[in-house]
Amino acid sequence: MQRWLNGLKALIYRRRNDQDLHDEVSAHLQMDAQERMESGVPPEEARQAARRDFGNVLRLTEDTRTAWGWITFEQCLQDLRYSLRNLWNRPAFTGIAVLTLALGIGASTTIFSIVNAALLRPLPYAEPDRLVAIHSVNQAQGGTPSIVSPADFREWRDQSTSFEHMAAYSGGDLLPAWIGERPETIAVTRVTWNFFRTFGVTPVLGHDFKESDESNRASGDMNVVVSYRLWLARFGADPTVVGRKIKTTWGSVTIAGVMPPQFRFPDSAEMWTPIACCAEMTLRTRYWRVVGRLRAGITAEVAQDELESVAGQLAKLYPKDNRNWSVLVVPIAQDLVRDVRQALWILMGAVGFVVLIACANVAGLMLVRSASRRREMAVRLALGAGRFRLIRQLLLEGALLSLASAAAGLLLARWSIDAFFRLLPQTSWIPLARFRDGVQLDAAVLLFTIFISVVTAVVLTLTPAADSLKLALAESIRTGSKLQSPREHRAFKLLVVAQLACAIVLLAGAGLLMQSFVRMLNVENGYDPRGLIIMGFPQPAQDRQAFIDEALQRIKAVPGVESAALMSAARFGQLNFAINIEDRPLANGDVVVRYSSVTSDYFRVLKLSVIAGRVFDTRDSANAPAVVMINERLAREYFPGQDPVGRKIVVSYNNRRTPREIIGVVSDVRQEGPRDPVRPEVLVHWAQSPWIAATLVIRATGDPRAAQLGVREAIWSVDRNLPAYPTQTIEEALSSQVATPRLYMILFGVFSALAVALAALGIYGLLAHIVSRRRNELAIRMALGARRSNIVRLIVNEGIHLSIAGIAFGLLGTIALTRLMRSLLFEVNPTDPLTFAGVSILLLVVALTACYIPARRAAKTDPVAALRHD
């Protein structure tokens, strides 16, 4: 370090140092001449003698400069020129090396930039470390995080001391509003007044909610806060928007503030409105989400302990609703990426293997090159070049290679980040898609790329450096490049085995994901998805039932619509309600099951089969006895070996417990999509229990788009003032549900294809090298009568041994590593023997093909020419 510093100083002060040396030399000459003159020598002669005695001034200057250290720099420049020339003169080597490394660096930079955006970058909130998400958990039902009841929220908030703020929100409402001429729908999240304060974010325009806003909601004049996006898109970034009134189906609302662009919580929110404080706060139905800001110095664990004891008391006080219910406090950064965290680290690991293979590959190339450069190195050593300088020169070559690759890799990453997100549909509820805007090649990413390239440069340099410099120098010169070095071959073979081993790990991962994906596509959803359309269903403020009856009539008459029904959520069975069995209460109290309110045609639209009893019909009107249908799963779980029809279920809602008679059992629907199992579900008749929001589900024949337009017109023909709601076909919805697994599969596929290609290149390179080294031996064998097939077998055998070793080591690693993928797999065992066997055979075939080419070339050698050539 000191040397370099001196060198740097010397470079900067070079002129000054030179001047100083010049002065010193003149002083020396002058004093010497003076002394000579004093002893009686004539002046001219004295000066000449002094100069003669002094010797060569130029040479002295050169030597002294070396002492200053700046020579190191000049040498570096020399080495740089030399390295550049070296790389330039071997375009094939340089090209392959740069391409290989660029692929590795590009792939790892892409994945890292996503990891960076999703997992590493701090959230855009004030002191995000103190923000937590608070969930209810039911210990009797596996302890998965669940949503929260308003009553629980109130108790937690009032009885805990760990929090500076605790806020609740409930999202997903679509509010029809008249901003322009036509009604539009705005995605609304209802929040407690301190919601924004909890995040520590203030509006860019206007102000956020005050405590009084919660009670104002009931009085009809409601303050709302809008998102930056909505402000841009619907209000044209109007700076005077604060105070503006908007007409909605909830009455008129006033815009109080505009949030900054980076505040998007929850992701879908376009508008935040205050919850209705007092009435809603007593409800025991779970439909809220809760966030909290911890007091300074309080950890999530402390808050967890405190809330757990509160929850324990609540369970005792309200056994019906709260027995077995506890609480879970999770730092919000973790909560937001719960689903993707593990997947991203797995992808990062996978991409690490690609980088390793790329490095091993290029190291192999360098090894071959260093073997052919051994004579050059030996000559330079003999001529007096220091070992350090030779290593430095190799290091420089490695650095140049990885620098070029890093530049190419960054370009590749820019392009592939776009490609990555193009593989995901633009839906905010896909956990990865929401990081799209955050993914940039920022300083952290560049630092990562630089780090990777430095590591690569060192690895690339040290492999051949160790090899070529350890060798006895004299021996190298004597035997020259024809030296058959077992050590060099062993190192090369090890590299190839390592590449094959890494490739098999990735291949196995890709194979498992592919199988999962195929299984996921083939999952029985319980309904026929073809031609199904779901559509938000707008309702007027008054006379809803009459409107629904009329609208459904007209919708069914639209050409291309086979049947239509209403359901209570945008997807099947999305609500959660607590139930019990009336005549034989469950031992552990109420259980939470899925809940749907549907019109009677629902079963016909979805083509569900009735297992027992009947479906809803006109008998089950609002005034008739309360009835319910259950799905097969619920029947099997809670009425095992019994006939549920005629029994009664108690459904809790809004602190009321309504007994309902079971009239039928219907076949199962996978409520959460293909990845999740069927949950127990109760279905109630819309006429008896309408839900505040409605979704239309239609079975269309022919073009779904035409049917959609027809349906929209049909609704407007009943009420011209209703807004258009978003529409989606079930097939689109399903495909976006498998979009994330599909993305993982594609990425693993790309990585493993890269890995296999590189490993094949590696084994090909090794055998080609061996063949060229053994040309004499092979020629002699042929001259002595070996047949071409013998030669081919000789070479291919070498490849087979290596491939089998690589695959065997790789499989050991795979068994250890694919376990970590368990959460990404669907109905596939992480150590599925069939997948392992399949990918092993695939890799073996590829490797043998790569071996065959050099083997054939070896067999085609003309022995006479080969021997004469030497």
Which residues sit at the interface with another protein, rule CB under 8 A?
A: 6, 20-21, 23-25, 27-28, 30-32, 34, 53-56, 59-60, 63-64, 66-69
| Nearer of residues 69 and 674 to another protein, judged by Cβ | 69
Cβ 356 to another protein shortest distance, Å: 43
Q: Name which of 23 and 862 has its Cβ closer to another protein.
A: 23
Dist. CA 652–CA 661, nearest whole Å: 14
As measured in angstroms, the least distance from the Cβ of 384 to another protein is 15
User: CB of residue 481 vs another protein: minimum separation in angstroms?
Assistant: 35
∠ at Cα 595 (141, 290), nearest 5°?
A: 60
Positive or negative torsion for Cα 499, 505, 508, 510: negative
Distance of CA 357 to the CA centre of its chain: 22
CB of 61 to another protein, least distance (A): 9
Alpha-carbon distance values, 402 to 83, 104, 247, 361, 451 (Å): 13, 11, 61, 13, 11
Residue 868: CB partners within 8 Å, gap ≥ 6? Answer: none
Closest distance to another protein from the beta carbon of 23 (Å): 7
How would you label 314-327 residue by residue, b for 16+ Cβ within 10 Å and e otherwise? Answer: bbeebeebbbbbbb
Instruction: Give the burial string for 612-637 (b: 16+ CB within 10 Å, else e).
Output: bbebbeeebeeeeebbbbbbbbbbee
Question: DSSP assignment of 490-507, as one string?
Answer: HHHHHHHHHHHHHHHHHH
- Burial of residue 490 (CB within 10 Å: 0-12, 13-18, 19+) is exposed
Looking at the Cβ atoms of 15 and 59, the one nearer to another protein is 59
Spatial separation of the C-alpha atoms in residues 90 and 490, rounded to whole Å? 25
Tell whether omega for the bond before 319 is within 30 degrees of 0, i.e. cis.
no
Type of residue found at 338: R
| Contact yes or no for 288/150 (Cβ under 8 A) | yes
Structure tokens at 837: 């066997």
- Judged by CB, which is closer to another protein: 53, or 862? 53
**Contact indicator for 104, 362 with CB cutoff of 8 Å:** no
State whether residue 293 is helix, strand or coil: strand
Q: How far is the CB of 57 from another protein (least distance, A)?
A: 8
Tokens of 332: 């919000």
Q: Which CB sits closer to another protein, 3 or 482?
A: 3
Q: Tell me how far apart the alpha carbons of residues 593 and 575 are, in angstroms, rounded to a whole number.
A: 8
- Ordered DSSP codes for 771-789: HHHTHHHHHHHHHTT--HH
| Rounded (10°) angle between helices 150-159 and 300-317 | 120
Q: Which is nearer to another protein, 56 or 219 (CB)?
A: 56
Nearer to another protein, 60 or 709 (CB): 60
Q: Which lies closer to another protein via its Cβ, residue 36 or residue 660?
A: 36
Alpha-carbon distance 78 to 824, whole Å? 53
Minimum Å distance from CB 14 to another protein? Answer: 13
- In sequence order, what E strands does 642-712 have? 648-653, 656-666, 681-685, 694-700
CA distance 188 to 281: 19
Least distance to another protein, CB of residue 91, Å: 42
Residue with smaller CB distance to another protein, 51 or 619: 51
Shortest CB 11 distance to another protein, Å? 14
Measured CA to CA, the distance from residue 347 to residue 416 in angstroms comes to 15
> Minimum CB separation from another protein for residue 381, in Å?
20
What are phi and psi for residue 174, nearest 5 degrees?
-110, 120
The number of residues in the chain equals: 870
| Between 31 and 120, CB nearer to another protein | 31
* CB 79, min distance to another protein, A: 22
Q: By C-beta, is 3 or 720 nearer to another protein?
A: 3
- Residue 63 CB, shortest distance to another protein, in Å, is 4
Gyration radius of the chain over CA positions:
38
Cβ at position 72, least distance to another protein in Å? 12
Q: What string of DSSP letters covers 424-465?
A: S-S-TTSTTGGGGGG----HHHHHHHHHHHHHHHHHHHHHHH
Using an 8 Å Cβ cutoff, are 862 and 798 in contact? Answer: no
If the CB atoms of residues 9 and 856 are measured against another protein, the closer one turns out to be 9
23 vs 617, beta carbon nearer another protein? 23
Three-state secondary structure of 733-745: HHHHHCHHHHHHH
Please identify, using beta-carbon distances, which residue of 7 and 690 lies nearer to another protein: 7
Minimum distance between the CB of residue 49 and another protein, rounded to whole angstroms? 13
CB of 388 to another protein, least distance (A): 18
675: helix, strand or coil: coil
- Closest to another protein by CB, 70 vs 265, is 70
Q: What's the min distance (Å) between Cβ of 59 and another protein?
A: 6
Which residue's CB is nearer to another protein, number 37 or number 140? 37
